[in-house]
Chain A
Amino acid sequence: MNYYEEEFETKKVDIRTWKKLLQYAARHKKALIIMSISMVIIAVFDVIIPYMRSYAIDEYILQETTKGLGWFTAIYMSVSIVVGYIVYLFIYKAGFLETYITYDIRRDAFNNLQKLSFSYYDVTPVGFIMARMTSDAVRLGETIAWALVDMVWGAFFMVAALIGMFIMNWRLALIVLVVVPPIAIISAYFSKIILKYQRRVKKTNSRITSAFNEGIMGARTTKSLHREDANFKEFDELTGKMRNSSIKAAVISAIYMPIVMTIGAAATGAMLWLGGEQVLSTAIKLGELNFFISMSTMFFEPIYQISRIFAELQSSQAAAERVIGLVEAKSDIIDAPEVIENYGDAIHPKKENWPDINGEVEFKNVTFKYKGGEKVLSDFDLKVKAGSTIAIVGETGSGKSTIVNLLCRFYEPTDGEVLIDGKNYKKYPQIWLHSNLGYVLQTPFLFSGTIMDNIRYGKLDATDEEVIEAAKLVDADAFINKLPEGYSTSVGEGGSKLSTGEKQLVSFARAILANPALFVLDEATSSIDTETEAKIQNAIEKVLTGRTSFIIAHRLSTIRHANRIIVISKGKIIEDGTHKELMKNKKHYYELYTNQFKQEQENEILGIAN
């Protein structure tokens, strides 16, 4: 997962991408407006408050009077309280924007992910999506919200300060202006280069993390090869590189501030010199000179901020594109508008219009190929009677899984059609089929949460009794009750606290609770102890009775009990019939069967269950 986060390329800012992202900010107009107005007010006050201090010097100290000082104090304090409130407002509103932009991006992306078809998931690693929706989403929210704050403040502060200074004395104001271009150039240069070096450090850092990862995960292999010294040498080189590039990055950012400060100090010095002479010639007052000096130290902050924002936008460009790409990705499988109108979709299902499924399934001239791949099925025909169990047997890559994927409408046929109860399943929404489907995966997947939650996934409104009933039916009840908290036991992330066999039993209970008309089982070959094995066998039988079932089978007992067995090779049915018939044929099935039989016997002797 680490790997997807280290692509830090700096790209040219593309306005269209950011326009799309700015729409996320535009959704919260009120916050946006309050925040902008706050920043304008703060920018103006950032000029007024120093002015008030210079006013105090000229009007009280130099006049040697404290008359009106009470008013001054009152006004100064109230201005500050107003500013305090506005500071609260702008942080609050910018924070609001930041969190809501991140929130909205995540929500839109997740909603879109629910619509995207499997062809998207096939080519997109989970880590890639995770990185987009975690670090990228946070980074964009942060960049957009605070870039707006800094830009509005910076622009208005410069305008207000210039107006103030030019009103007071245009000659001195010019001194400040003269220094702007060099500082702007230096800032633009450094903000870019600093970011570049920081990214380099980050990259090296993620390499160190990977090295730790490898050092720890591979420690046993390292030991058996006695590679500790060589590993350490390499790691030492890496940390050396990290040390050097970190120092370099730190030194480069350490050069920038002093340079700007020195130029600023030169401007202040010039101000003191020329302004001092103007004070002597009484062209300006001492307090006013003081004001100019404050302004000359503050004026360069916005320049630095703005150049930083541009550098940041550039470096976030790639992240922005990828996030927009995720939010806007289009699904291959879409319910037709008239289908949605009649039957609804996953979000607003119109269940009252859905027909019941009887369970007759037919593949008619089905051709299929994966994106950019070769044809897996061509002109494939298969008709399955309602309520029958069909076992699909064949080698890896023969097309077994494709048949099941097409049946589940995880993919749609490239050509031809899949009929359910005699009607093309595209005439109904995907959710209709999926609501009638029971599915048990080769590698059972559970969600973190309790066992109760996981079984209930099959029927969300099931009562506790129904859940327990389902668990009893597949013999899962016994092991669940032995757990410390019974049905309330948490299964851990991805079900990690349960054994594979236990996970399978839970996933059977989940499927049986759904009471589906169609059932798909992608049977496991993983290691399970013999006792659980027997229970699973029993569970399978319970689940299969009375529904149309497709089984990708490995276990002999499952295969034997099927009403019909088809042997698939290279996308074609090469044998079709009952167990007895096919055994009599003494061909492919017979061969597969006997080999499997021996394998199972051998495994039994060695204590490995199938």
Chain B
Amino acid sequence: MKNKKEKKKLKEENKKKVRLLYRFTKGARGDFVSGMLFVIFENFFNFLGPLFLALAADILVKSANLHYPKIILRMVELGGGAEELYTHIYFIAIAFVIAMSLRSLFLFVRSKYLARGSETVARKMRNEVYDHIQRLPYEYHVNAETGDLIQRCTTDVDTIRRFLAVQLTEIVRVITMVAIALVILIPINTLLTALSMVLLPVILGASFYFFKKVQEQFQKVDETDGALSTILQEGLTGVRVVRAFGREEFEREKYSKKNIELRDKTYILIKYFAIFYAATDVIVVAQLLICIVLGIVYAVQGIISVGQYIMFVSYVRIMIWPIRQFGRVLADMGKAIISSGRLNEILEEELEKNSLNPIQAPLDKDIEFKNVNFAYGETKVLKNISFTVKSGETVAILGATGSGKSTLVQLLQRLYEVEDGEILIGGVNIRDIDKYHLRKRIGIVLQEPFLYSRTIEENIKIAEEHVELPCIEESAKIASIHDVILGFEEGYNTLVGERGVTLSGGQKQRIAIARTVLRESDILIFDDSLSAVDTETDAKIRSSLNERKNKITTFIISHRISTLMEADRILVLKDGHIVQQGTHDQLIGIDGLYSRIWKIQASIEQEEEVN
């Protein structure tokens, strides 16, 4: 009973995958239909060519009866009858060349349609998956397995593309091929037709079985290949350890062992292929030989003409190759369905939701946290947080690791949603404010910002594209990174990342600051984003920010007293609670986290002055 249910479920799942595939073809269906149509045309002319050669043979030897399809006979009549053609054999030669040229033309047209169709679908899949992933909730990305996701976006899309471009037509081709052959050959001689095709199913079966079987070996090879790469990579990244322990020989043996294993497994795979091609070669010849011998006997007996004999042999030869490869097509078809399922899993993930009636409320107002609680799953991170910030105030937040500081500020951009309690900006609950409005008007600089692999200039203007260079330089100056950038050989055109310069943590943070201040914001948040910058530069950045901003509400998370003390208000967080709040002068008087850190840092600074 249960088994049946599962089967039904599986069937449903498969249906869903196929339906998704079908949905993706929208917009390209015309191309596919045209492509298929031209496959049929191409096949038709491909079979017509040998027909002319056969006809020529029959005319050349003056065969008594011309048993040909009516169109061909009509054409013979048009050419003046067999007698006339006998002296004008070039008529047939021309007809042959025309037929084959048309076949070539249709081959080209079909390739064009199918390329356009499959590439259109591939583009659509890429776009849809990319956009969907981008719009998944913040939390999804915090936990995402990036390697697997990228694999799906690239390999799986490509598997489906290949199925549509190659395998789907191959199915149509083989079916029309067999159909055309049957239509032409059966009227000539049913038994000869039957025997000329009797081994085709065997070839097809053998090839399907083989390609299905060989996939296991392919997988084994792939796995070993992966293992070998891992050994290599570890040997390279861990080269210091290898050398320091004098383990060169051990590494060589380890690598060599896997290398031999891979070699032997690949070798087995190739052996399988050698056996398959050799064995099917023999079956193919056997099929051809049946056709040849029986054809000769029939021709000698006068049951078929010499031309028809040539026709039979040509047709069998035309059909054998695609059928031998057809097993692979069928075996690969399953892969496309699996890939479609893997894409579907991504597309079924629920998208981030905006408010029902999003408001574009002004954000340069007072902010109020009211009994805000927040938890990641079971772990409570913020507990009953309440405080008010006046518009234009600077609020500094201090707390130990895991105290909930980052979560607190991320709530403002609605990267996480407040489930319990509320945050009001100018009296409006942010759950009613347009998410994207919040993100556009609230600038946040993360502790470990992500830079895109483009030029520095492009990175700075990433959120505000139509900005001139002077403005970009202005922001870079505020972030105290302008001089560093000019120090690079290519200045603002320097590429960031693997192919360009590798930036230090502090440089990355400062570029992220430049990109945030470039945009006009109502609220600015620095999530420990000056941690990798030295104290002096930190102060410089803050003073130039103060000069520029005309009373933007600012949140700063930091451990530096020199940063914290300038704030209008300091919040001290511990285990998700606000344990202290007040100004610098108020807090140094009370025993607590703030005063303890102040004492340490103050003494360092004093000594530095002495020295």
Asked if B57 and A286 make an inter-chain contact with CB atoms under 8 angstroms apart, the answer reads yes
Q: State whether A212 touches B285 (Cβ < 8 A).
A: no
Residues of B within 8 A of A236 (CB): 127
- Residues from chain B with Cβ under 8 Å of A228 in the complex: 131, 134-135
**Complex Cα–Cα for A66 and B302 (A):** 12
Contact of B453 with A210 in the complex, beta carbons under 8 Å: yes
Contact call B300/A100, Cβ cutoff below 8 A: no
Q: In whole angstroms, how far apart are the Cα atoms of A100 and B282 in the complex?
A: 28
Q: With an 8 A cutoff between CB atoms, is A563 at the interface?
A: no
Shortest Cβ distance from A565 into chain B, in angstroms? 19
Asked whether A608 lies within 8 Å of B245 as measured between CB atoms, the reply is: no
Residues of A within 8 A of B97 (CB): 265-266, 268-269
Q: Do A246 and B450 touch (CB < 8 A)? A: no
Which listed residue (A102, A258, A439) contacts B240, Cβ 8 A? A439
Residue of B nearest to A527 (CB): B401
Give the contacts of B87-118 with A (CB-CB under 8 A).
Answer: 89-90, 92-94, 96-97, 100-101, 103-105, 107-108, 111-112, 115-116
The minimal Cβ–Cβ distance linking B340 to chain A, given in whole angstroms, is 18
**Contact A57–B309 (Cβ < 8 Å):** yes
CB–CB B53/A272 < 8 A = yes
Q: Are A91 and B439 in contact (CB under 8 A)?
A: no
Summed over the interface, the residue pairs from A and B with CB atoms below 8 Å come to a total of: 383
Q: 1/0 contact trace for B153-175 toward A, CB 8 Å? A: 11000000000010000000000
Residue interface bits B263-281, CB-to-A below 8 A is 1, else 0: 1001100110111011101
Given contacts A227-B463, A272-B92, contact A126 B245 (CB under 8 A): no
Number of interface residues of B (CB under 8 A): 134
Contact, CB under 8 Å: B450 / A218: yes
B607 beta carbon closer than 8 Å to chain A: yes
CB distance from A178 to the nearest CB of B (A): 15
| CB within 8 Å of A: which B449-465 residues | 449-450, 452-453, 462-463, 465
Indicate whether A290 reaches chain B with its CB closer than 8 angstroms.
Answer: yes
Query: Is the Cβ of B293 less than 8 Å from the Cβ of A69?
Result: yes
Query: 1/0 per position for A265-277, CB-CB distance to B under 8 A?
Result: 1101110110011
**B123 touching A126, Cβ below 8 Å:** no
Given A598-B603, A606-B401: A265 and B101 interface contact (C-beta under 8 Å) = yes
Identify which of B75-83, B246-254, B387-395 touches chain A: B246-254
Given A239-B126, A276-B93, A437-B244, A250 contacting B234 (CB threshold 8 A): no
A382: interface (CB < 8 Å): no
How many whole Å from B315's CB to the nearest CB in chain A?
A: 14
In the complex, the chain B residue whose C-beta lies closest to that of A608 is B401
Determine if A493 and B127 form an interchain contact, defined as CB atoms under 8 angstroms apart: no
Q: Is the CB of B56 within 8 A of A272?
A: yes
State whether the Cβ of A114 lies closer than 8 Å to any Cβ in chain B. yes
Structural contact, B274 and A239, CB atoms closer than 8 A: no
Set B86, B94, B229: member contacting A269, Cβ < 8 A: B94
Contact with A along B226-267 (1 / 0, CB 8 A): 001110111111111111111111111001100110110011
Assess the B101–A460 pair: CB atoms within 8 A: no
Which A residues touch B279, using CB under 8 A? Answer: 84
Name the contact of A77 in the complex, choosing from B134, B289, B306 (C-beta under 8 A).
B289
Q: Contacts A53-B313, A223-B439, A254-B108 given: A61-B299 contact, CB under 8 Å? A: yes
A225 touches B463 (CB 8 A): yes
Known: A216-B150, A223-B439. Is A61-B306 also a contact (CB below 8 A)? yes
Residue pair A270, B93 in contact (C-beta under 8 Å): yes
B138 touches A434 (CB 8 A): no
| B107 and A111 contacting across the interface, CB-CB below 8 Å | no
**Closest chain B CB from A157 CB (angstroms):** 17
Q: Does A107 contact B (CB under 8 A)?
A: yes
Neighbour of B277 across the interface among A88, A115, A253, CB < 8 A: A88
B180 beta carbon closer than 8 Å to chain A: no
A271 shortest CB reach to chain B, Å: 8
* B484 CB–A CB distance under 8 Å: no
B60 at the interface (CB under 8 A from A): yes
User: Would you call B141 an interface residue if the criterion is a C-beta within 8 Å of the partner chain's C-beta atoms?
Assistant: yes
Residues on B with beta carbons closer than 8 Å to the beta carbon of A83: 281, 285
A437 to B255, CA, bound (A): 23
Contact with B along A73-104 (1 / 0, CB 8 A): 10011001101110111011001101110110
Contact partner of B559 (CB less than 8 A), chosen from A224, A255, A606, is A606
B296 adjacent to A293 (CB under 8 Å): no
Complex Cα–Cα for A9 and B65 (A): 61
Q: Are the C-beta atoms of A113 and B236 separated by less than 8 Å?
A: yes
What are 5 A-B pairs at a CB distance below 8 A? A99-B270, A110-B232, A250-B115, A253-B111, A439-B240
Q: Which 9 A-B pairs have the closest CB atoms?
A: A95-B270, A434-B246, A250-B115, A254-B111, A265-B100, A258-B104, A439-B244, A88-B278, A276-B89
Taking A77-B289, A106-B228, A272-B96 as given, write out 5 further A-B residue pairs in contact, using a Cβ cutoff of 8 Å, ordered by the A residue number: A72-B293, A99-B266, A232-B130, A254-B111, A460-B250
